[in-house]
Amino acid sequence: MSKIQSTFAQLKSENKKALIPFITAGDPHPDMTVSMLHALVDYGADMIELGIPFSDPMADGPVIQRASERALANNVGIKKTIKLVKQFRENNTKTPIILMGYANPIEAIGIDNFVNLIKDADVDGVVTVDYPPEESKEFVSLLRKNDIDSIFLISPTTEDTRIKLITSQASGFLYYVSLKGVTGSSNIDIKQVAERVMNIKKYSDLPVAVGFGVRDSETAKQVALISDAVVIGSRIVLEVESSSQENILVNIKKLMDEIKKAIS
Amino acid sequence: MQAYDLPDAFGHFGQFGGSFVAETLVEALDELKEMYDKFKDDPEFLAEFHHDLKHFVGRPSPIYYAERLTNKIGGAKIFLKREDLNHTGAHKVNNTVGQALLAKRMGKPRVIAETGAGQHGVATATIAARLGLECVVYMGSEDIKRQSPNVYRMKLLGAKVVPVESGSKTLKDALNEALRDWVTNVSDTFYIIGTVAGPHPYPMMVRDFNSVVGKECRTQMPDLVGGQPDAILACVGGGSNAMGIFYPYIDDKSVRLIGVEAAGHGIETGMHAAPLTANSPIGILHGNRTYLMQNDEGQIIDTHSVSAGLDYPGVGPEHAWLKDSGRAEYVAVTDDEALKAFHNLCLIEGIIPALESSHALAYAEKLAATMPKDKIILVNLSGRGDKDINTVAKLAGLTL
């Protein structure tokens, strides 16, 4: 059983929902990423999504775009991101880490090389935004061979036949994109999200996480009621961006506390 | 019937092309594929398309023998396919007419576009006005500075021009932003991509709509010279005008097909926009796999060209395939060479060419000099240079 699966199983037995914060590796500075990861765990993160900086993040809104630009300005790319996970693992072998990024950096270093590196760093899952199941068969089978979960996005426009295709390739959990748009977009329609999540569950026993439009504790609370996990991305990255360096962790803690309370 | 039949059903040209997009766009692309398949051979749709090309765009565009330029060089005869004479001033309009008619049939009231030089933005704004569609054009803020006449033109035509401040603030970033808009407004919006890039079916569809250029050449050249040309030259950024003129000639192996990329300050300086000539690695950007200017960790690197329309780090996947298969050749000319060809055409033939097309002209001059006088070179003069006069004046130290 993968760490992602066992974490979900454990939470389920306690009747709890997973909180999955997102930060971009190297933002605001590579020296801070590892301590931020540990802090997120202390503040109640059940798993963490770590963004791989990319020059052309087409599915991201302005907040995560700027995070990527800051990270790239610090020379943090895909290899450094994996190194940071490895450093985090020196003091945490339990919390699942999911890398989120785009296909080009992965192919640029080679998919075999990428999988070897993340295996060595004990990464648990990968979300590749622009790698639909049709174009990523080789990559997914390579991940599977190495017991790393392939996490796929399902969107409001995904039809049932595609949900079947996606769930046949996915493992760990399914990531439901709560709205039509980029990361950090405005308000989600919770009733519609609930219907879609229920529909996905007709086709798969995998846990369903919801993200892309969760901006406050009230939304997080509602999302937690109808899914297995809440992903908070742009809202946290916004704290990273707007806080002075010494206040980043304080402000993230405040946000995490509110959300943790709302979803438990 | 052509023997050449790429792409396959999933948009692959060999290892290139495909559809690498976020999940939200998959259904929209499936719908587009279905509708394009339905209409591309539909007599009524084609009749409307060709009616608009004739009466609104002014097709067929003539082929002109550049006799004085030919004599000056003293080699092969240089002919120009005059896409610069189209309504809106470039080949870009052929494709926008086709896609906008498709948008109308699909019941989409809003169209969006990315633009580099502004020609595709102007062409989209034009056809949107003609069909009564809402139009939003994304344009890098760097390009807005370089191409201000086209920005105002789009506004006159009722389009909203959104400056893009992310990344390198040029064409690739405009494409990213248009994709973000499309993801958000996918139900009521049709994305009119201007080049033979993007996810399937765009590279195929944009090529098909632009192939009217090559089809006309096939009938015009025998009338003019009694046969087909020995070589066809076209500039390549994303590569839409080149695919438009190359495509009907792919099976005709006696015709050399030569794509001319932007060498900027020179390939060796790294400041260029010539992924094919510079042997850039293969990568994935804007929904397709192709040759891509990137660093060793897959970050897209900044490009440079004097011409905004060629300032793109990738290239249409079909060009990547044509290069690998050896069917087409790819070369590059520098900013300075293109500018010299620009001035030559102004002074010798009385035609102000686009800076993009000037790259093809520059290579035509070089190539003609190496070929005998009975040989024929056909250059796709893909656009006119009115939009570039500020850039050219600035390089000459003048302010208009």
Residue A36, SS3 per DSSP: helix
Backbone angles phi, psi at B265, to 5 degrees: -80, 0
Confidence bin at B196 (pLDDT 50/70/90):
very high
A60 tagged catalytic: yes
In chain A, which residue's Cα lies nearest the Cα of B199?
A130
pLDDT tens-digit readout, B77-102: 999 999 999 999 999 999 999 999 99
**Mean of pLDDT values over A166-193:** 91
Whole-number pLDDT of residue B1: 47
Least confident segment among B113-122, B215-224, B272-281: B113-122
Backbone angles phi, psi at A40, to 5 degrees: -60, -40
pLDDT of residue A206 exceeding 70, the answer is yes
> Which residues of chain B neighbour A65 with C-beta distances below 8 Å?
166
How far away is chain A from the Cα of B98, in angstroms, using its nearest Cα? 26
Q: Are B119 and B143 in contact (CB under 8 A)?
A: no
pLDDT of residue A199 exceeding 80, the answer is yes
Q: Which residues contact B81 (CB under 8 A, 6 or more apart)?
A: B61, B63, B213, B216, B217, B245, B378, B379, B380, B381
Whole-number pLDDT of residue A5: 97
Distance CA A263, CA B272 (A): 52
Distance CA B367, CA B370 (A): 5
> Which residues of chain A neighbour B28 with C-beta distances below 8 Å?
157
Whole-number pLDDT of residue A59: 92
Whole-number pLDDT of residue A38: 98
| CB contact (8 A) between residue A155 and residue B23 | yes
Whole-number pLDDT of residue B306: 95
Backbone angles phi, psi at A258, to 5 degrees: -60, -45
Q: Which domains does chain A have, with CATH numbers?
A: 3-263 (3.20.20.70)
Residue A227, SS3 per DSSP: coil
How many CB pairs (< 8 A) connect A and B? 119
Whole-number pLDDT of residue A185: 78
Task: Please report where in the chains the tokens 């695919």 appear, as a residue.
Answer: B243
What's the whole-model pTM score? 0.97
- Of B262, B138, B184, residue with least CA distance to B28: B184
| CB contact (8 A) between residue B184 and residue A78 | no
pLDDT tens-digit readout, B23-61: 999 999 999 999 999 999 999 999 999 999 999 999 999
Distance CA A157, CA A206 (A): 20
Distance CA B78, CA B364 (A): 7
Whole-number pLDDT of residue B392: 95
Confidence bin at B333 (pLDDT 50/70/90):
very high
**ipTM of this predicted structure:** 0.95
**Mean of pLDDT values over B213-229:** 98
Specify the length of chain A in residues: 264
Who has greater pLDDT, A214 or B263? B263
The verdict on A174 touching B (C-beta cutoff 8 Å) is no
CA distances from A171 to A48, A152, B21, B78 (A): 16, 8, 20, 60
Whole-number pLDDT of residue A136: 96
A14 tagged catalytic: no
CA distances from B202 to B18, B19, B95, B214, B292 (A): 10, 10, 11, 19, 18
pLDDT of residue A187 exceeding 80, the answer is no
pLDDT of residue A181 exceeding 90, the answer is no
- Of B194, B164, B276, B282, residue with least CA distance to A103: B282
pLDDT of residue B232 exceeding 60, the answer is yes
Residue B136, both tokens: 């939003």
pLDDT tens-digit readout, B290-309: 999 999 999 999 999 999 89
Mean pLDDT (chain A, rounded): 96
pLDDT tens-digit readout, A109-120: 999 999 999 999
Chain B: residues touching A (Cβ < 8 Å): 10, 18-24, 26-28, 166-167, 172-173, 176, 179-180, 183-187, 281-287, 292, 294-300
Residue A15, SS3 per DSSP: coil
Q: Are A40 and A251 in contact (CB under 8 A)?
A: no
Mean pLDDT (chain B, rounded): 96
Q: Which residues contact A111 (CB under 8 A, 6 or more apart)?
A: A138, A139, A142
- In percent, the amount of chain B with pLDDT more than 70 equals 100
- In percent, the amount of chain A with pLDDT more than 90 equals 94
Q: Is the dihedral of CA B365, B367, B369, B374 positive or negative?
A: negative
Q: Which of A62, A129, A134 sits opposite B22 (nearest CB)?
A: A129
Task: Please report where in the chains the tokens 């905004």 appear, as a residue.
Answer: B308
Chain B interface disruption, residue of A52, A54, A58, most B CBs within 10 A: A58
Q: Are B140 and B173 in contact (CB under 8 A)?
A: yes
Distance CA A23, CA A36 (A): 9
Distance CA A235, CA A213 (A): 9
| Buried-state track B139-152, b at ≥16 Cβ within 10 A, e below 16 | bbebbbebbeebbe
pLDDT tens-digit readout, A121-143: 999 999 999 999 999 999 999 99
pLDDT of residue B2 exceeding 80, the answer is no
SS3 of chain B: the string is: CCCCCCCCCCCEECCEECCCCCHHHHHHHHHHHHHHHHHCCCHHHHHHHHHHHHHHHCCCCCEEECHHHHHHHCCCEEEEEEHHHCCCCECHHHHHHHHHHHHHHCCCCEEEEEECCCHHHHHHHHHHHHHCCEEEEEEEHHHHHHCHHHHHHHHHCCCEEEEECCCCCCHHHHHHHHHHHHHHCCCCEEECCCCCCCCCCHHHHHHHHHCHHHHHHHHHHHHHHCCCCCEEEEECCCCHHHHHHHHHHCCCCCCEEEEEEEEEEEHHHCEEECCCCCCCCEEEECCEEEECCECCCCCECCCCCCCHHHCCCCCCHHHHHHHHHCCEEEEEEEHHHHHHHHHHHHHHHCCCECHHHHHHHHHHHHHHHCCCCCCEEEEEECEECHHHHHHHHHHCCCCC
- Of B76, B78, B75, residue with least CA distance to B67: B78
pLDDT of residue A186 exceeding 80, the answer is no
pLDDT tens-digit readout, A154-176: 999 999 999 999 999 999 999 99
pLDDT tens-digit readout, A10-19: 999 999 999 9
> Which residues of chain A neighbour B24 with C-beta distances below 8 Å?
155-157, 177, 180-181
